[in-house]
């Protein structure tokens, strides 16, 4: 997708003026965030990994603890995976933590760290977004970042009427436009400014157009129909029901470690599902303890947790993924955030 010809921003002088306005606003108004204070490559990389699919306010305490525990690439590379996953517990999308550790190992093994986005896309867990963010912020490369905030701002600036299939496809299609608009003198600040504008001013609902620094360049802001954009097709929601077992025996809770080949949750502990081992009991309707609801991607999941007892004949030595974990030691294992909460609630109610 290219800059529409009728847009003010198709004129090179307006593009320069747009970038200058945005940067002047950013210099005055930006939030003081830890990765902006004493910036370093390591801080930028860690914060960009954490910020994917996670809000700034959620990331802040994690980042602070993380930098204390793993202050640089070498410390992270030397840590074992279990320790790294434990430090990530509650942030979700755990492949990010595993990839960050792998990336640290690769970085410390290099004689020279590459500075271009293409090379960074070859590192574990790095897609076009993180590659552009890291190389523009840390190495001053003029590569445009496109995330959800940027999609929203660009779609409104240009009143883009095309409907995108989903957020990822909007990011892909808008990348050439974002690249045309980038300020080559301060690309890292420019990228952060555009994202900051989306996060603090160009809200999804009720954008603050009257105080927006780039209102004069914005088609939909001037027309007053900004909330119509971006036009992204509604996702079809799949409803899924999952059954889980709650087995407490001699002060221990039965948990299952998700196998290493699992894409999303490898190495994390969860309440077991009856189908995960043939010797596990089947749930009984009259033993339903609670129903929890959550969403992952386009799935609306109903989790039904049943009280159960292990059959006498079960030998857990034959089930390497199942553990009876002493309740007082539960803090030492890594549970996904919803499981941590369910376990806490259920233990408190008993």
CB-based closest residue to ligand SF4? 221
Closer to ligand SF4 by CB, 137 or 153: give it: 153
Sites for ligand SF4 among residues 281-300 (CB under 6 A): none
If one asks whether residue 156 binds ligand SF4 (CB under 6 A), the answer comes out as: yes
Closer to ligand SF4 by CB, 86 or 156: give it: 156
The answer to whether 94 and 268 have CB atoms below 8 angstroms apart is yes
As a whole number of Å, the end-to-end CA separation of the chain is 58
**Of the listed pieces 152-160, 240-248, 287-295, 329-337, which binds ligand SF4 according to CB under 6 A?**
152-160
Closer to ligand SF4 by CB, 44 or 159: give it: 159
Q: Which has the closest alpha carbon to 94: 125, 67, 72?
A: 125
Sites for ligand SF4 among residues 224-253 (CB under 6 A): 226
**Of the listed pieces 149-157, 165-173, 260-268, 285-293, which binds ligand SF4 according to CB under 6 A?**
149-157
For 96-131, letters b (16+ CB in 10 Å) and e give bbbbbbbbbeebeeeeeeeeebeebeebebbebbbb
Sites for ligand SF4 among residues 184-223 (CB under 6 A): 201-202, 207-209, 212, 214-215, 218, 220-221
3-state SS track over 30-61: CCCCHHHCCCCHHHHHHHHHHHCCCCHHHHHH
Q: Which of 48, 89, 270, 303 is catalytic?
A: 48
The answer to whether 165 and 234 have CB atoms below 8 angstroms apart is no
Min dist. Cβ of residue 345 to ligand SF4 (A): 40
State yes or no: is 48 an active-site residue.
Answer: yes
Which one of residues 153, 158, 245, 265 is an interface residue with ligand SF4 (CB under 6 A)?
153
Q: Which residues contact 4 (CB under 8 A, 6 or more apart)?
A: 10, 158, 160
Closer to ligand SF4 by CB, 202 or 308: give it: 202
249: three-class secondary structure by DSSP: strand
The answer to whether 183 and 191 have CB atoms below 8 angstroms apart is no
Q: Which has the closest alpha carbon to 44: 29, 55, 34?
A: 34
Catalytic positions, please?
48
Binding footprint of ligand SF4 on the chain (CB under 6 A): 153, 156-157, 201-202, 207-209, 212, 214-215, 218, 220-221, 226
């Amino acid at each position: 997708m290219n800059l529409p010809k009728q847009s003010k921003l198709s004129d090179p002088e307006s593009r320069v003026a747009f970038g200058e306005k945005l940067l002047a606003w950013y210099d005055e108004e930006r939030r003081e965030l830890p990765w902006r204070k004493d910036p370093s490559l390591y801080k930028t990389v860690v914060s960009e990994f954490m910020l994917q699919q996670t809000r700034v306010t959620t990331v802040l305490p994690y980042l602070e603890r993380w930098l204390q525990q793993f202050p640089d690439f070498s410390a992270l590379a030397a840590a074992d995976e279990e320790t790294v996953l434990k430090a990530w517990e509650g942030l979700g999308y755990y492949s990010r933590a595993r990839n960050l550790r792998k990336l640290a190992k690769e970085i410390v093994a290099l004689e020279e760290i590459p500075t271009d986005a293409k090379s960074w896309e070859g590192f574990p867990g790095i897609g076009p977004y993180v590659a552009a963010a890291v190389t523009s912020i840390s190495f001053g490369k003029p590569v445009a970042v496109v995330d959800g905030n940027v999609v929203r701002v660009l779609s409104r600036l240009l009143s883009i009427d095309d409907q995108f299939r989903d957020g990822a496809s909007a990011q892909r299609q808008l990348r050439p436009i974002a690249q045309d608009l980038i300020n080559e003198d301060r690309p890292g600040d420019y990228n952060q400014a555009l994202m900051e504008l989306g996060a603090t001013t160009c809200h999804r609902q009720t954008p603050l157009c009257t105080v927006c620094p780039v209102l004069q360049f914005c088609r939909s802001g001037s027309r007053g129909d900004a909330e119509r954009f971006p036009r992204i097709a509604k996702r079809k929601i799949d409803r899924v029901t999952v059954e889980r077992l709650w087995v407490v025996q001699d002060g221990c809770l039965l948990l299952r470690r998700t196998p290493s080949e699992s894409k999303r949750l490898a190495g994390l502990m969860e309440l077991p599902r009856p189908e995960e081992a043939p010797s596990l009991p089947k749930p009984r309707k009259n033993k339903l303890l609670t129903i929890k609801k959550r969403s992952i991607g386009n799935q609306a999941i109903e989790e039904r947790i049943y009280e159960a007892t292990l059959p006498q004949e079960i030998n857990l030595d034959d089930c390497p993924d199942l553990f009876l974990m002493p309740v007082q030691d539960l803090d030492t294992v890594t549970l996904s955030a919803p499981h941590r909460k369910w376990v806490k609630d259920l233990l408190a109610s008993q």
